[in-house]
Each structure stands twice: as structure tokens, then as C-alpha cells.
A = this chain, B = another copy of it.
């Protein structure tokens, strides 16, 4: 009995609810009989799945999608309101001023000098320093901003890191009061541009051990000789910090070498496949004479150089996070728009798998760096903490950008889709401020008690 009512109800339902024109149209496209036969073979679970799918199927294009957000664990909301506002201001600047031109300058391997005044207006240079016109904010804030910059373009964040971290940091930590007074305010406002010359053609990540650039005191002057490679901003910097070994006491000392100094020449490093906006120089010091007054008065050995590196290394980890985040957000956006087999590729399991791999690594990196910066703000940061973050983030970033590029198929190799540049740049992050190997051995020594460098 129930069965008969049910049948009748079904028929009534059917004729009441469906549009006969629609059926005709359908019947002209598919074999309805065959389809009904197939439907008849489904069990209830399968039937429910099909209905669910059909209901969602036709509306892919209308549905309101969740916002694209690379901060999955809401770390931005763990900042103070003022800090959060600064984060968003820098983000807005990067999206308005840098994003539209990044691919073009990257391709040309040129630096967009016109953006410098606008960058200066953000007043974020020398962020953590006290005095000399610097904002005196936290290291956490500095890390967050490094991420924001790298999220749009890793070259620009590198340019900034050289200026604000390596160059100003050297002067801030190792300069005399006079040197700070002279340089920090103008560097902070980008009225002067700085560079940092440590790495040499044959001495990379192992800088501590064997710098070959030499300094020889001669009365009130010093004579510098040697070469420095990979020096960011060097082709146009007003001042370059040069680290050299004093021939007399064998200690590493630092010198502020001014643009145009005789004996100081810079050749642009050509044909990079990564961070092409950054202008790296090969510096040659050929009996370059520098005044004793331009020797950094508080840099007495490599330990002082190392303080600068320790202070800035966390920033490199944050840059890696930004690079990964930029790639992830572009990739997510792409997969929701690109269709295959009639539906957005973001709705395929294999694509979601890539996205979730990216996001889980990205989120882990963010929480790791957040804690790292907290340690730094608490004065507890050790070399090995920063090295671990550098190793983890540069490795995971490589993985993230690789997945990002992968979900884009062939389009992933075109700059215009805003992933290819991150893929390339991740390779540079991977090796600067210490390769994975060197940073791993720093951590390894700290935890095992044994040095395995040699």
C-alpha cells in the first residue's frame, strides 16, 4: 500500500515540478533511457552523492568563494592594532606600487629606482633601532613586514633587507657615535643607499673561516685589497660596508667605503635566474685607501660581524615565508578560475592535495618564525635558532613554490601568472645568508656538541 502511494506521489512530483521543454532539450543531448537505466543501478549512497553533486555542479560560477588568505592561523590578529595597521599599510603599498611592475623589472634585470621615495615614506627602514630617526619597533614587526614585502616581490624585500638590516645594522652595532650620526638618518630615509660586502668569490657560506680580503694600516689610512661577490645594491650604493682581515693582527675589521672611492670598482653580476631585480655586484678593491675615521670603530673581530648576521638572519626566514605565501595565494586564485572537464580545477582531489600541502607548510613556517621573533624580542635568540628557521623555511618554501607552479600546468612557467618569479627567487633565498648545509651544521653543533664542518 505504502508503495502505491509513494509511486503516485512520485509521478505527481515529477509532472508538477519539471519543465517539459527542459526534458526535450535534455533528450536532444543525452540518451535519457540509458541514463535512467544507469540511475536505477545506483544504491542509495551513490544516489545521494549524485544528487549532491548535481546541485553543486551547475553553480560553480555563481557561488561565493572564501577569501584567499595565506594567514590561515590568524597570526596577523595576534599583533596589536597599531602593528596590524602597519602590516596592512605595507601590504597595500606593495600591491599598489610593486605588483604591477615586478615582472617587467625582473625580466629586464633592472631596479625600479622610482619606487624609492614611496618606500621611504612608509618609514619602516631601520625598524628596530632606537634613535637616529628609527622607529624602534619589535623584531616581530620587522619579520612580519619582511614577509609582506617578499609576498609581492622577494627582490624588493632583499633590497630593503640589505639597506635596513645588513648595512644599517652593521653601523648600528659596530659604528662609532659619529658614524651613526652621519649615516643612519640618511640611510633610514633612503637619501643614501647602503651595501654590505662580506662574501667573496671563493668564500661563501663559510665566511667566518677564511676571508681573503685584506686591510693594512698605514698611518691614518687603511689599504684594502681583494674581491667581494654577490654584494646586493653595490652597483649604486653610496656606502658599502667592507669586511677585511687586518694583516697585522689577523682579525676581521669593517670599513665604510664611499661611492667613487679610488681603488673601489663594481661590476654588475649578470645572467642570474633569480632575484633579477636585485643588483648584485662583484667588487674589486685594488689598493683602495680608506680613512681610519671610516673604519667601524666597534668591529674588532669576526664575532662582531656575526652579531649583525645573527640579528638579520631571522628576517631571511620571514622572507622565505613571504615568497611561499605569494606563490600560494596566486596558485589558489588560479585553481579556482581555471577549468578542466567543465569545472574549476580547485574542485579536483589532486589539486586540493597540492593546495593543502602548500598551506600546511606555509602555516608551519609562519608559526615557527613568529616564535623565533618572540625569542629575539625577549633577547633569547641564539645563532642556532635562526639557523634552524633558515633551514626549515628555505626548504619548505622551495616545496611550496614547486607545488604552486605545478597546479598551474604549462602556465606556471609564464611570468604573468605570478608564480614563476617566486619559483626562481626561492632558489636564491635557499642559498643566501648560509646554505642549508652550513646552517644545518650550526644547529648540529649546538645540539650534538660536536662540530662537523670539516
Verify A441–B340 contact, CB threshold 8 A. Answer: no
Considering the complex, give the chain B residue whose CB is closest to the CB of A229.
Answer: B410
Considering the complex, give the chain B residue whose CB is closest to the CB of A206.
Answer: B340
Determine the chain B residues whose CB is within 8 A of the CB of A6 once the complex forms: 24-25, 27-28
Q: Per a CB cutoff under 8 Å, which of B34, B58, B428, B432 touches A41? A: B58
Identical subunits present: 4
Verify A16–B28 contact, CB threshold 8 A. Answer: no
A147 to chain B, nearest CB (A): 15
Additional A-B contact list (16), CB under 8 Å, known A23-B36, A360-B395: A9-B28, A18-B36, A26-B39, A42-B57, A42-B58, A50-B57, A66-B447, A73-B371, A73-B372, A107-B271, A210-B342, A272-B415, A273-B420, A347-B452, A350-B441, A368-B368
Verify A341–B452 contact, CB threshold 8 A. Answer: no
A1 to chain B, nearest CB (A): 14
In the bound assembly, the distance between CA atoms of A452 and B431 in angstroms comes to: 23
Verify A341–B49 contact, CB threshold 8 A. Answer: yes
Considering the complex, give the chain B residue whose CB is closest to the CB of A60.
Answer: B450
Is A237 part of the contact surface with B, judged by Cβ < 8 Å?
Answer: no
Contact with B along A374-396 (1 / 0, CB 8 A): 11000010001100100110010
Determine the chain B residues whose CB is within 8 A of the CB of A344 once the complex forms: 448, 450
Determine the chain B residues whose CB is within 8 A of the CB of A402 once the complex forms: 398
Closest 9 CB pairs of A and B: A17-B33, A41-B58, A10-B27, A352-B444, A45-B342, A7-B24, A10-B24, A347-B450, A349-B349
Verify B391–A360 contact, CB threshold 8 A. Answer: yes
User: Which of A16, A26, A63 has the most chain B CB atoms inside 10 A of its CB?
Assistant: A26
In the bound assembly, the distance between CA atoms of A360 and B16 in angstroms comes to: 54
User: Assuming the A-B contacts A38-B54, A364-B364, A364-B367, are A452 and B349 also in contact, with contact meaning beta carbons closer than 8 angstroms in the complex?
Assistant: yes
Considering the complex, give the chain B residue whose CB is closest to the CB of A65.
Answer: B449
In the bound assembly, the distance between CA atoms of A394 and B353 in angstroms comes to: 15
Verify B63–A51 contact, CB threshold 8 A. Answer: no
Verify A58–B39 contact, CB threshold 8 A. Answer: yes
Is A223 part of the contact surface with B, judged by Cβ < 8 Å?
Answer: no
User: Assuming the A-B contacts A341-B206, A431-B413, A444-B352, are A8 and B24 also in contact, with contact meaning beta carbons closer than 8 angstroms in the complex?
Assistant: yes
Q: Interface segment, A129-137, A158-166, A197-205, A292-300?
A: A197-205
In the bound assembly, the distance between CA atoms of A346 and B332 in angstroms comes to: 27
Verify B409–A431 contact, CB threshold 8 A. Answer: yes
Dominant secondary structure at the A interface: helix
In the bound assembly, the distance between CA atoms of A240 and B133 in angstroms comes to: 64
User: Assuming the A-B contacts A55-B38, A75-B371, A409-B435, are A44 and B29 also in contact, with contact meaning beta carbons closer than 8 angstroms in the complex?
Assistant: yes
In the bound assembly, the distance between CA atoms of A427 and B104 in angstroms comes to: 21
A contact residues, total (Cβ < 8 Å): 155
In the bound assembly, the distance between CA atoms of A356 and B388 in angstroms comes to: 8
Considering the complex, give the chain B residue whose CB is closest to the CB of A344.
Answer: B450
Is A14 part of the contact surface with B, judged by Cβ < 8 Å?
Answer: yes
Verify A341–B45 contact, CB threshold 8 A. Answer: yes
Is A43 part of the contact surface with B, judged by Cβ < 8 Å?
Answer: yes
Determine the chain B residues whose CB is within 8 A of the CB of A30 once the complex forms: 47-48, 51
Is A355 part of the contact surface with B, judged by Cβ < 8 Å?
Answer: yes
Q: Per a CB cutoff under 8 Å, which of B34, B269, B273, B372 touches A55? A: B34
Determine the chain B residues whose CB is within 8 A of the CB of A375 once the complex forms: 73-74
Is A264 part of the contact surface with B, judged by Cβ < 8 Å?
Answer: no
User: Assuming the A-B contacts A17-B32, A60-B450, are A10 and B38 also in contact, with contact meaning beta carbons closer than 8 angstroms in the complex?
Assistant: no
Write 18 A-B pairs (CB below 8 A) sorted by A numbering: A8-B24, A13-B33, A26-B47, A35-B55, A38-B57, A39-B54, A41-B59, A42-B54, A49-B341, A50-B57, A52-B454, A274-B413, A348-B437, A355-B447, A356-B388, A356-B443, A367-B370, A410-B432
Determine the chain B residues whose CB is within 8 A of the CB of A75 once the complex forms: 371
In the bound assembly, the distance between CA atoms of A216 and B247 in angstroms comes to: 59
